[in-house]
Amino acid sequence: MKNDRTDAPPPGSERVYQGLGVAPGIALGTAWVSDDTAPSTPEYLIEPEAVTAELQRLKEAVAFAAKQLRKLKVKAQALPPAAAEELGYLLDARLQMLAGSRLIRTAEKLITELRLNAEAAVRATIAEISDGFSRMNDAYLAARGDDVREVGERLIRCLMATPYVALKHLPEGSILIAADLTPADTALLDPKLVLGFATEQGGKESHTAIMARSLGVPAILGIADLVTVLKTGDPIILDGHAGKLIVHPTPETRAQYEAGEAALKQERKRLSRLRDVPGVTLDGFTIGLNVNLELPRDLDGAHTVGAEGVGLLRTEFLYMNRDAAPDEDEQYEFLRAVIEGMDGRPVTVRTIDVGGDKLAPALREQIGEPLEESPNPALGVRGVRLSLAHPRLFDTQLAAILRAAAHGPIRILLPMISQISEVHAAREAVERVYKRLKRRKVPLPEKLPPLGVMIEVPGAALSADGLAAVSDFFAIGTNDLTMYTLAIDRGDERVAALYEPLHPAVLRLIQFTVEAGLRYRIPVSICGEIAGDPRFTPLLLGLGVRELSMSAPKLPSVKERVRALSLTEASRRARTIMDQADAKRIGELLDDFIANLGSHSV
């Protein structure tokens, strides 16, 4: 994108560069310009007898690049849940590109048939694939070409043994300026040091942009020649709302932005006052507002926003990236830390929710899960299917949960339920383990914890009446429910743009589930991403949902929306929306309702 300069300005005068504002927010700091440009790629022909060795060199580089990506996945677990999930999907997609994709196959072909060196073969392949995407004249598809380029650049660096420049030690108060920034680099920036970033490349649909928004880091992409015209130490203002980068701002401009930044802080402070007020609608209906957690470290965030409980405690990470399953004591200590940390507020513990393909090979071998890859992991042995297929694994987790339940209120949540028989089998397992622990005189709660099911596949939603009869509560996982209903894999970047939670089919499945819960008088909550987006709040409440669970930073704005609306009016608008057949029209009706809300928040 061109900047708005017409003539070269005097040195030190204010300059404004226009780019794409992809993550909102204002940052005032100093530029830190990265010179980590792509390495110059050598190109030469190899001798016929060297082809085999060159293919082996490429193979080893692919293995090393995959190892780097797996390490990044481990580091990503320390990110906030939403960012960790987003980066996890992204890194999985990158790993798939390294596993016999067109990128690798074409590079191998160029080495074999044209006898190009590996670096040149990869570079030529990147250009061919990226050009193909760019010719489609579609911003989303163009961004997918960027993804291929990023994976290819990583591969070339591995071939040339040229590592990326680490961005861990930037001076405090920096605004990072770079030709490009990978999503992984973005995710691992330290927000205590880096106030924001601007790059020459990238678009609104890029994963770097998505990651910046997930982390709440102001960002601008797509400013041409930025690295060459800025110097490290230049005073700078980054406006992520308007997409403006202002270098050497005048005192007047700085004062204007300082006032804007102060207003944003005031807004955050205003929302913080909601911490101790209840989530009650204008007409007096109380809405339960909980948080999703992964680790005890997230407890501070839950308390800061005044969460009423943990609506979803994910336990998967305990089983991933390790060679042995966690034993009962390790899981018990983890759960006890969370439960005691919530000071008597309820914690909903979801049993392991991964497929066998996500477990480390050594762990799969330990529990007896076949090492062969599932042809379609999303439809294979995952969630409660994995637990019921491996009673020892399931019983160990249940024992830890039941022991932890002696320290505070717990609910047990079963993922990937599609059959009533699965609920019966899981309940029998809970009762069996409870009796065994009781015989050992282990401290336990007097009653079994409530046993609920995730509604995340269409079959479960459509048979919600039957499931409600055997369950103590429902938690609707709208991320997977949308994916399975629309046959959209968010990890597949070619179709991810079709992911639409406002699709009428998804909304009707939510409605079926909520109505079944009301008939059987069991609680129904939502713990997918839409629970944390205030745009969806009127619709979800209007459909009958009375509990929402989300990442902690999103809770204040959702609570404000709850307190600004009338449930009676939201229900009326929801009925109108459910008569619609088009997601765009549904969005318009929802936005119109929100636009007419009053300001009754704090």
- 324: DSSP letter: S
Domain for residue 403, yes or no?
yes
User: Is it the case that residue 408 has pLDDT exceeding 70?
Assistant: yes
Q: What pLDDT, on the 0 to 100 scale, is given for residue 589?
A: 96
**525 alpha-carbon distance from chain centroid:** 20
At residue 395 the predicted structure's pLDDT band, cuts being 50, 70 and 90, is very high
Query: 532 with 550: CB under 8 angstroms?
Result: yes
Per-residue pLDDT, 542: 97
> What average pLDDT does this structure show over 150-159?
84
- Indicate if 310 and 184 belong to the same structural domain: no
Token pair 């807004």 is found at 267
Q: Which of 552, 560, 12, 523 is nearest to 294 (CA)?
A: 552
Is 343 annotated as ligand-binding?
no
Specify if 421 maps to a domain: yes
Torsional sign, CA 324, 337, 408, 541: negative
Q: What is the pLDDT of residue 412?
A: 98
- pLDDT band for position 6 (cuts 50, 70, 90): very low
* Interval 356-380: pLDDT, tens: 555 655 566 666 666 556 667 677 7
Task: Give the residue, 513 or 601, on which the prediction is more confident.
Answer: 513
The pLDDT assigned to 320 comes to: 62
In this prediction, residue 469 carries a pLDDT of 97
Residue 7 lies in a domain: no
Q: Are residues 425 and 374 in the same domain?
A: yes
Domain C-terminal end among 160, 188, 222: 160
Among residues 193, 189, 171, the alpha carbon closest in space to that of 181 is found at 189
Domain end position, chosen among 125, 160, 195: 160
Q: What is the CATH number of the domain that holds 416?
A: 3.20.20.60
- DSSP assignment of 13-58 equals S-EEEE-EEEE--EEEEEEEE---PPPPPP--BPPGGGHHHHHHHH
| Greater model confidence, 167 or 170 | 170
- For the beta carbon of residue 87, count every other beta carbon within 10 angstroms: 26
Look up tokens 């010719």; give the residue: 135
448 and 587 co-located in one domain: yes
Structure confidence by residue, pLDDT tens digits, 210-219: 677 767 789 9
Query: What is the domain extent for residue 503?
Result: 274-599
Would the annotation count 456 as a binding residue? yes
pLDDT above 50 (res 321): yes
Model confidence at 8: pLDDT above 60:
no
Residue 350 annotated as binding site: yes
Q: pLDDT by residue (tens digit) across 259-315?
A: 988 887 888 788 888 888 999 999 999 999 999 887 776 788 889 899 999 999 988
When pLDDT is cut at 50, 70 and 90, the band that residue 38 belongs to is low
Q: Are residues 105 and 187 in the same domain?
A: no
Same domain for 285 and 181: no
CA distance 104 to 115: 15
Q: Are residues 505 and 539 in the same domain?
A: yes
Residue 9 lies in a domain: no
Query: Is residue 244 included in any domain, yes or no?
Result: yes
Same domain, 379 and 432: yes
Tokens representing 497?
A: 């743009």
Nearest to 101 by CA among 152, 136, 57: 152
**What pLDDT does residue 554 have?**
83
Residues 541 and 564: their CA atoms lie apart, in Å, by 12
CB 296 within 8 A of CB 317: no
Give pLDDT, residue 319.
76
Split at pLDDT 50, 70, 90, the class of 448 is: very high
**Quick one: pLDDT band at residue 602, thresholds 50, 70, 90?**
very low
474: phi then psi, degrees, rounded to nearest 5: -115, 145
CA angle 531, 450, 405 (to 5 degrees): 100
N-to-C CA span, the chain? 41
What pLDDT is attached to residue 4? 46
Give the residue from 234, 266, 298 where a domain finishes: 266
**Average confidence (pLDDT) over 159-175:** 75
Which DSSP state fits 6? S
Does 409 score more than 80 pLDDT? Answer: yes
9 conformational bin, left if phi > 0, alpha if psi -120 to 50, beta if neither: beta
Judge residue 316's burial from the number of C-beta atoms within 10 Å of its C-beta, 0-12 exposed, 13-18 middle, 19 or more buried. middle
Same-domain check for residues 325 and 303:
yes
**pLDDT, tens digit (0-9, with 9 covering 90-100), for 68-82:** 888 777 766 666 665
For the residues 514-518, what does the mean pLDDT come to?
96
pLDDT digits (tens, 9 = 90+) for 119-143: 899 988 888 877 766 655 545 455 5
pLDDT range class, residue 153, cuts 50, 70, 90 = confident
Q: Catalytic residue numbers?
A: 207, 527
233 and 146 within one domain? no
- In the predicted structure, residue 322 carries a pLDDT above the cut 80: no
Which has the minimum average pLDDT: 40-54, 80-94, 275-289? 80-94
121-141 burial, b at 16+ Cβ within 10 Å, e below that, comes to bbbbbbeebbeebeeeeeebb
Distance between CA atoms of residues 555 and 549, nearest Å: 8
Q: How far apart are CA 92 and CA 493, in angstroms?
A: 11
Q: CA distances (Å), 208 to each of 29, 144, 421, 488, in order?
A: 21, 12, 43, 21
pLDDT for 600 equals 47
Cα distances from 375 to residues 12, 355, 357, in angstroms, run: 60, 12, 10
Categorize the per-residue pLDDT at 349 as very low, low, confident or very high, splitting at 50, 70 and 90.
Answer: very high
Whether residue 352 contacts residue 331, with contact meaning beta carbons closer than 8 Å, is answered with: no
Please list, in sequence order, all residues whose beta carbon lies within 8 angstroms of the beta carbon of residue 126, skipping any fewer than 6 positions away: 103, 148, 149, 152, 153
pLDDT at residue 430 tops 50: yes
Q: Residue 231 maps to which CATH number?
A: 3.50.30.10
Q: Residue 106: is its pLDDT beyond 80?
A: yes
CB distance 29 to 236 below 8 Å: yes
* Same domain? 286 vs 364: yes
CATH code, 128: 1.10.274.10
Nearest Cα neighbor of 144 from 103, 190, 83 is 103
Q: Mean pLDDT check: name the lowest of 3-7, 118-122, 520-524.
A: 3-7
| Same domain (yes/no): 393, 438 | yes
For 466-496, the pLDDT digits (tens) are: 999 999 999 999 988 998 999 886 655 566 6
Phi/psi at 595 (5° precision): -65, -25
Give the pLDDT of residue 499: 81
pLDDT, position 5? 46
Quickly list H helices, 77-162: 81-97, 102-109, 118-134, 139-160
Q: Is the pLDDT of residue 203 over 70?
A: no
Token duo for residue 222: 């797509």
Report pLDDT for 601.
45
Q: Residue 85's pLDDT is what?
A: 63
pLDDT, one tens digit per residue, over 222-239 is 888 888 888 889 999 999
Tell whether 508 is in a known binding site: no
pLDDT band at 31 (very low <50, low <70, confident <90, very high): very high
Question: Angle CA(126)–CA(131)–CA(133) in degrees, nearest 5?
Answer: 100
Residues 31 and 55 in one domain: no
Contact 536, 510 (CB under 8 A): no
Residue 525 inside a domain? The answer is: yes
Q: What is the DSSP letter of 529?
A: G
Q: Domain for residue 314, yes or no?
A: yes
The residue among 25 and 197 whose pLDDT is bigger is 197
User: Residue 304, Cβ neighbours under 10 Å: how many?
Assistant: 14
Contact 200, 177 (CB under 8 A): no
- Please tell me the total count of domains within the chain: 3
pTM to 2 decimal places: 0.64
